Homo-oligomer: A and B are copies of this chain.
Amino acid sequence: MANDRKRQVEQITNMEVDFAQWYTDVCRKAELIDYSGVKGLFILRPYGYAIWENIQRELDARFKADGHENVSMPLLIPESLLQKEKDHVAGFAPECAWVTHGGSEELEERLCIRPTSETLFCEHWAKVVHSWRDLPMLYNQWCSVLRWEKTTRPFLRGREFLWQEGHTLHATAEEAVRETERQLAVYADVCEDLLAMPVTRGLKTEQEKFAGAERTYTIECMMHDRKALQSGTSHYFGDGFARAFDISFSDRDNKLCYPHQTSWGFSTRTIGGLIMTHGDNSGLVLPPRVAPIEIVVVPVAAHRPGVTDAAGELLNTLKAAGFRAKGDFSDNSPGWKFAEYEMKGVPLRIELGPKDIEAGACLAARRDSGEKTSLPLGGIAQAARELLDDIQRALYEKAKKNLDEHTFTAASAAEVRAVVENGGGFIKTMWCGDAACEDQMKEQAGVSARCIPLTQERVGETCAVCGKPAQSLVVWGVAY
């Protein structure tokens, strides 16, 4: 029969041997993505997209609870509109995809596919904002954006990626800064609570800021290979865009003012972060709260009478209790199934065979530790809940341990470089605040300034590069 056509669970590259290849292998073998015919444009397959839907649901609920409303802005930006804010266009124009023809006709002005939508929001606001009564504007949109990158990798750097971009407008600078910080806190929470990825919160240096921003806040996560992944950013624009786009409002005293603006984004990039934070040599490992399938039920010796029925009943019990549960009743071997759902990172596998049924129990195997526990069939929901909660906690703790064990302090560029050459990590140094020193550190140690942490410490008194009095602590690292 057609058994020869059953899919094989193929081997993936060992992550300690070639982390980059391991990553690509997991993206494909766990069926998260496929490549399309255009370099850097990836297909999110059902399993990959389901992870994104879980992240979306959580973020969207939080945004709405804070009074934000979703909108849909156009896909295309006229070149003249993009040019209105000079820092912004300088940052984005070099990587825009340009539409030059509509049907058979050449356009009078070329249009870029949005790399981000600040200019579109500003153009709209200039029309609809008049009074202090119209503020704040708390908008968000879910969409994809295009940036014509040279080097591309699934999730981490695509020419197209999915994200949400929040855009808000406020009467005062204080309120806008508060919004910027609040959204960073939302991102940090979602990273830590949902994705089990501990974050370092901080400000970007002048050089690393978003094009056009006065201040960029970031959360930085440490991957298994100790590299840093920027996982969410929140920008405070001051009134720069408002002035460039002529957005003004009359305040309560009928005085004409420029409003203050923010934007903040969280993208499918974090799915890459999930893979590189929790994955292992058997494939993906997903925190239960974001896993499309929390529990997979696998019947063992399914040909024996009563096994399939009992497994089906168990599955229904789990579904009724609200778990995202799936049963695999195909004629693939249990061994094949074990490997398949390990590759897909399903947090909990429940095996049920004739002996288990006789004993009124089932065998639960944790994806994170491999540990197996016998669970009573009566009260299975409660037991599964506890195990999943423990897996969620354990994954966070393991990632936190990786972060803590590979966070170092250094007093010179040479010391930073030594850490990088010794396997890498996050390296804290003091800094004078001078861009020249940041450049030198980059050049001499091969790292970039990940952030100026919001929680500052003093690990010395002088800049690790120039030796002048230090202004702030910086976290350095090699970044994705």
Residues of A within 8 A of B (CB): 1-2, 5-7, 34, 36-38, 41-46, 49-50, 52-53, 69-78, 81, 94-104, 110-111, 113, 120, 123-124, 127-128, 130-133, 139, 143-144, 146, 148, 159-160, 162, 250, 252, 254, 330
Contacts and interface: CB of A to CB of B under 8 A. Distances in A.
A36 to B, nearest CB: 5
A46 B72 CA distance: 8
A104 B131 CA distance: 41
A50 B141 CA distance: 12
A70 B94 contact: no
B72 A43 contact: yes
Given A34-B124, A49-B69, A96-B102, 10 more contacts: A2-B250, A34-B128, A37-B77, A41-B74, A41-B76, A46-B69, A75-B75, A76-B160, A98-B101, A143-B144
A46 B100 contact: no
For the complex of A and B, 4 pairs with smallest distance between CB atoms: A46-B69, A41-B74, A102-B148, A44-B72
B148 A74 contact: no
A101 B104 contact: no
Q: How many copies does the complex hold?
A: 2
Contacts of A98: 99-102
Given A2-B133, A113-B75, A250-B2, A70 B99 contact: no
B36 A74 contact: yes
Contacts of A71: 43-46, 49
B2 A132 contact: yes
Given A43-B71, A46-B139, A111 B38 contact: yes
A36 B70 contact: no
Given A2-B131, A98-B101, A252-B2, A124 B72 contact: no
A14 to B, nearest CB: 26
A270 B299 CA distance: 46
Contacts of A132: 2
10 contacts: A1-B252, A2-B131, A38-B74, A38-B78, A43-B71, A43-B73, A95-B103, A98-B100, A99-B100, A133-B330
A45 B52 CA distance: 24
A72 to B, nearest CB: 4
Contacts of A70: 46, 49-50, 53
B69 A50 contact: yes
B75 A41 contact: yes
Contacts of A124: 34, 36, 43
Nearest to A70: B49
Contacts of A139: 46
Contacts of A78: 37-38
A127 to B, nearest CB: 7
B103 A72 contact: no
Nearest to A68: B46
Contacts of A73: 36, 43
A300 to B, nearest CB: 21
B37 A49 contact: no
Contacts of A133: 2, 5-7, 330
A96 B7 CA distance: 38
Nearest to A76: B38
Nearest to A119: B37
A296 B143 CA distance: 31
Contact of A2 (B44, B110, B144, B254): B254
Interface centre among A50, A72, A73, A132 (most CB of B within 10 A): A72
Contacts of A100: 98-101
A81 B37 CA distance: 8
A5 B250 contact: yes
A72 B144 contact: yes
